[in-house]
Amino acid sequence: MALVETHLDSGVLTVTLADEENRNALSSTLVGELVTALDAADADPAVRVVVLTNSGRVFCAGADLAERSSDGRPKAKVDAADLFSRFGRSPKVYVGRIAGHCVAGGMGLAAAMDLSVAIDNAKFGFTEVRRGLAPAMISVLCLPRMRPADAAEAMLLGNRMTGADAARMGLVNRAVPADELDDVVDGFVADLLAGGSDALAATKQLLLRVPGMPIEEAFAWTADLSAELFGTDEAREGMRAFLEKRPPDWAG
């Protein structure tokens, strides 16, 4: 049976981690299937937003420790680092619907999302130090979202936290009761579908690149990007729709 399931409906691709027996750990098989789903989403113009979620009580338990080779390196051809970096490179917007516990490498998967909503009583945690490890690769994704004091406490102590704590630390956008999860995710998706696909992809690049740029370089690059966007068919349609007081064609 597939460990990753996909369903496309009205421009929204739902990708579900479905290895409940293994707590959706990042095994070589699950990672391979997930990367295949991401590649298909990037290549399909019918996909405008991707929602990543889980079946079962665990969103992701992190690395599949039983599968690691004796030298500690993953056996998979596509490892977690390759997986995590794909979300930022993708022109699609990813929304995490985190309907279960999320620890260790799962924290990196949650932090890799563009937007994310978790159930407030889900357990989160950087538990690596209690396994004689460190939250190494996922720190690349998590540290930019966190205050240094929060990061030190969470990563050094290795304690569990709630989804509400994860939201307070910036690791997810929202933490809500389980019965409100779908409404909040659906609201995010509806707002994203109101934006143009090229505009969303460009905005993802702003969020990724501008914070690390020297200010003069940032102004030069964003000026070029703005000029490029103003010349697109999407922008012309968006401006016409605004002046004509109607929805743009992509929001139809």
Query: d(Cα 200, Cα 94) in Å, to the nearest integer?
Result: 11
Q: Is 66 helix (H, G, I), strand (E, B) or coil?
A: helix
Cα–Cα distances (Å) from 170 to 80, 221, 224, in that order, read 21, 27, 31
Query: d(Cα 68, Cα 111) in Å, to the nearest integer?
Result: 23
Annotation says 217 is catalytic = no
Show Cβ contacts of residue 71 under 8 Å, excluding neighbours closer than 6 positions: none
| Given 128, 153, 234, 244, the catalytic residue | 128
Q: What share of the chain is helix, strand, coil (3-state, %, to 5)?
A: 50, 20, 30
For 223, phi then psi, to 5°, come to -65, -45
Catalytic positions are: 128
